[in-house]
Amino acid sequence: MENLTYVTGNYGKYISVKEKTEKAGFTIEYYKCDLDEPNINDIKFISQEKARQAYEILKKPLFVADSGFFIEDYPNNPGYPGAFVKRSNVSSNISELLETMKNVSNRSCYFLDCLTFYDGNEFYQFWGISKGTLSKEIRGDKIKKAKSNLWYVFIPNNCDKTLAEMSDEERCNRPDNSTSATDAFISWYQEKYQKGLKRNLQKSTNSM
């Protein structure tokens, strides 16, 4: 089996994905790297460009994952910060975000995730979405698995806890109808990509 690497500067993201891939029967390697992000509010493009950059460094199959956070009624800028979560410093200044939103009644928001796998030939992209509301205070203990500080203020639909307040089991089984880019990728990688590699290897062997 080929080595598959997850390229990210966020160790919490790696741990979360690693647990899922191991349950699915394969392991991933971790390569810590903060890649340049194009200055554009387009998660699909950003994720693909980062995968291309990472491949130029490692020269082997890899994947990257990017998230956007959209606040429906952010004052004077609906949908903010979108793909600019990191560059806007929204996720690193949660207290400031809550202060900005303190008089906003509609606190609907959502995460939009894009995972891009690149093998040097083709880009494959997978999507996930989780809708919810913004809490009025920071809630939850510090956890290594937190993909973002926004976990401490994001309450998924049909739930009364923030992501940070939930146990692993509660997060996995929460009733918010969320979808997972990671789960979609793992399913595809096992069922289609790896089987395709085996078929190509068999054809190459039989032609010798």
Q: Read off the tokens for 175.
A: 């009733």
114 by Cβ neighbours in 10 Å (0-12 / 13-18 / 19+) ranks as: buried
Q: In the block, which residue shows the tokens 């923030």?
A: 162
Mean pLDDT estimate for the chain: 89
Which one of 34, 36, 42, 66 is the catalytic residue? 66
Instruction: Kindly report, residue by residue over 74-111, the tens digit of the pLDDT.
Output: 999 999 999 998 889 898 999 999 999 999 999 999 99
Instruction: To the nearest 10°, report the CA torsion of 38, 40, 45, 46.
Output: 40
Bond into 38 cis (ω within 30): no
Instruction: Kindly report, residue by residue over 168-184, the tens digit of the pLDDT.
Output: 899 989 999 999 999 99
The reported pLDDT for the residue numbered 164 is 93
Q: Specify whether 113 is catalytic.
A: no
- pLDDT, average across residues 154-162: 97
Query: Can you tell me the distance from the alpha carbon of 92 to that of 104, in angstroms, rounded to the nearest whole number?
Result: 21
Tell me the domains of the chain and their CATH numbers: 5-206 (3.90.950.10)
Across the strands, what pairs with 132? Answer: 109, 156
3-state secondary structure of 115: strand
First to last CA, the chain: 21
